[in-house]
Structure 1
Amino acid sequence: MTAEWNPALVSDELITLTRRLGDPAHDLVILAEGNTSQRLDDGRIAVKASGANMATSTRDDFVIAEVPPLAAMIASSATTQEELTSALDAGQHEGARRRGSIETLIHVAVQTIAPTAFVAHTHPTAVVSLLASVHAETAFDRPVYSDELVVTGKPLFVPYAQPGIELGQLFAHRLDAYAQSEGSLPSLVLLGNHGIVAIASSAAGAEAISLMAVKGARVRLAAYAAGGVAALSAESVAHYFEREDFHERRKNLAGTA
């Protein structure tokens, strides 16, 4: 069985993170947008169910998913969307269909490449504004202020793909290439015309990355309106990554391993 409904396995920490990211005041998601997950001790993940509202989520709104069989679906070019939908189905419980989010493969890809405690996917208006613009691929190439660099690090950009098997496979491919190149996972992934993914070893880190991505987008939008973005120099960025206190702050604020 690839997915099951077992509310007892869903932690308070995951519920709190999900509700905080779903708070309308943050403008990260509306309605049933977005999803979160937590890696369990046995390697499975608790991931938000399809159609559940993040702001009001409870333990009932999560599905427990097996990683290896879903990872195999990512690896196979023959996998269909129908097969994925079936694999995420945890059955009918208390009068409701419980099915893992259609974007569960994003969370699975992270666990396959480098097991991580928390993954949070949201659709912030300010960030999506840039990711739906002509600047999408390059807007976050260079940091525009130091705290952004500390918390979000070097983001990964993934072009638009239809949510589901198509996005899962492209995301996994780009994430693996990044990990091979950089030696670690990115803290922030930018999905073209779609949203963001925060990857962290703590719930607080996943929240910090998500919120800092929003501030970074707002700064860029204002800078573009004022005539253009003057990003930090490559020399300054390289110097930051050489500093011991930089890595300590990243660990404390962004939940990096």
Structure 2
Amino acid sequence: MSIVISETPELLGAAAAQKAGDVVRGAIRAKGKARIVLSTGASQFQFIQAFVKEELDWSKVEMFHLDEYVGLPESHIASFRKYLKERFTEIVPLGAAHFVNGEGDVQANIAALTAELRKEPIDLALIGIGENSHIAFNDPPANFDTKEAYIVVDLDDACKNQQVGEGWFATLDDVPKQAISMTVYQIMQAEAIISCVPHKVKANAIKLTMENELTNLVPSTMLKTHADWSLYLDRESASLLDSAAVQNA
């Protein structure tokens, strides 16, 4: 693994976008195309803003979506489909985009998305880390055992409070109780993983990630077992790390 610490979220986003662009360009050179997974949320704003400016043949890029609330219409401000369309897929001319749909027949939607996802390997996954150390919506204690690609999960209060704190919902009761999430297993199948984790509110999650051995009570510890994981922090999110944790990464 590698850790890159930038002064600001903007510099973090730029550095991670350059790294992501390099991975995508390498996949296109090697295979003629690249398949990526994108995460969403307030922590990904600066990365996506920089990533869409990368010089890439976007027509050779296929994007998959990480998670979505169950029963939330796409028109809602918190919809991650809406988020990605406005900030990414409507800006760059992708070859294909596959979204998680939490409306209608959820199990049928999961089956169709899984079939597309597993046609070929994923070259790059952008995986954030939540305030409760979740990856995607795999809140602690996360399911490390399932080999499914996507599952329906119950959201814990810490996760829901984060969504309120970021301004996506007015109150805790407004946050959907469930979401469709890519599983921990499926995330780990990506050839490379980049995690962009800025802001002071993520500092404790980063501390827990780096100081704990593998445990589903801190789901993000699983990322440390990946052969090609890059963690991008800003000074605030890295503020609780000791120097040894960074030097030994």
TM-score by length of 1: 0.30
Larger gyration radius, structure 1 or structure 2? 1
Structure whose residues are more often helix by fraction: 1
**Structure 2 length-normalised TM:** 0.30
